[in-house]
Structure 1
Amino acid sequence: MPAFTAIPTPSAAHFERIVKQFVEPAWQQVAGAIFNVVVTSCQEQPEKERRMCIGVRGRRFASRRVLKVKGKVVGVGRGKNTAVGLTEEELKAILNYNACEAAPKILGPIVEKIFQDYAKIEVATMPVGPRLVVQYPEFEDEDFYLHCVFKITFKNGEVWFLDLTYSQFGFDSCWTPEREYRTLYQKRGVGAERDSCRPVGQNYGMYPPEEPEDRRRLNDHLRESLNFDFSLFCLEHDKNIHQIVNDGGDNGQELKALLEDLGECADNAVTHCREVEMAMADLAHG
């Protein structure tokens, strides 16, 4: 990576610009590339109906917004949203549905490069209480949901959460101080002792037994491709991401080019994996 003049006093404010102007938009590019559902309709459950509904174990979730979504799983990279009249918040919630575990597996190396020398990076899983729920017909609302985020511990002791799929639960921001995040979003009555934290590298190989092998290969290929593309872009421009984001001399054109480059890289990686799966299927059938 190109040399970077050290920040005199690294702070969360500096990294907030990096996160909100680069990391989160980069993830949205990836989320769009791997989206696998053709959404045909989306309707918010009326408040009156929410108050009448009883969720898991007889609990009422009247305070939550519920987006009732209908669609068909069509395969990674083939998804699209044909529902009309949705807000930007609703579109992002659907796009990021159930993607919190994929985000650290795919963008882990890039996030580590951004925070290297300034903070310890971990992946944390914790129970959260959503403000918004994307609900497909085959699923019921839950009391709480396990959610996966980056835990960023700076050398001065500050801890922040980088939540790339915050929008799926209607949370306010992808970048939040630990105490505020736990107060606003963590399941009531549960503290940090319920977190499951692990190093970013260890997280790459952690999957439930039922996770399809093709999804594991896709995450690995995306991670390697995006990391290479990101490093190459910085090398060719003789800048690192801190300089690219903070340099306003080109009106953000360099940052825009990087995001477009990563979006194209993600699309190509998904296409490659689909072609590999098709070839393997053909071989299996003789």
Structure 2
Amino acid sequence: MAKLVLLHKADSIYDDEPDSVYDFPRVYLKAAQDAVGDWVVYYEPVKAGPRGYFAVAKLERIIERPGTEGRYLALIAPGSYLPFDTEVPRLLNGRPLEQALTAPDGSARRGGLVQQAVRHLPDADFARIVDMGLPEDLEHQEARRYTIHPETLAEDAAVFQRPVIERLSRRPYRDVAFRRKVREAYGYRCALSGLQLRNGGGRPEVQAAHIRPVEKQGSDSVRNGLALSGTLHWMFDRGLISVAEDGETILVSRNKVPGEVVDRLLRPGGKL
């Protein structure tokens, strides 16, 4: 097995959905086959945008793309995709984060391997990139994020250093990473009510819900998330409210949810 970097841009001619499938030509087939059962890091090329390295996932298997000669699909293991909490820059102090992209003088190489859509990634480079994008102490950071008087607390205990792969597989860690990204994406505002509430310490009173549940192979990508207040999250999980296929219309189980509740809790117009 081997780890990979996969280049992805939103307007690509390839049929990519980073949390589920990666479309690529035959020239990269051998490299992709090497990585089956191992992890990949997603990278946005310079001309596509500013993100650099932005997510991690596990490659499950490779299949031929139906109806397209010479194209293949790398299928992502369900539940493995995780966006970075902080997008990792392409260069750090002018030096690439990948050994293979670094010239002898420490500067960035140009052309060649840099432009390949699929390239091998040594374990050490993988760990370094993931540590920058998904820090070991992310759960601790979130727990302390809205502490009013941190200076009055006792000295923090050292964070237990878990191996990178173990961290990426832990549900509590993934839940924190998912929650941070989804709430940020919605501006800490409930998508169904439109309300942005915070308690006295500044903590946002909004939660992160999976549209497709994790237990039904829903991913931890932001596109599979909704920021919801506690009550609406409870109703959403029980099927009392949901979102239509258009991704914006709020659906309500009218035989179970009284009209006055709809009027009080949901945005006028019935749209996210």
Same fold (TM over 0.5): no
TM-score scaled to structure 2, two decimals? 0.27
> Which one has more relative contact order, counting CA pairs under 8 Å at least 6 apart?
1
More strand by percentage: 2
More helix by percentage: 1
| Structure number with bigger Rg | 2
TM-score scaled to structure 1, two decimals? 0.26
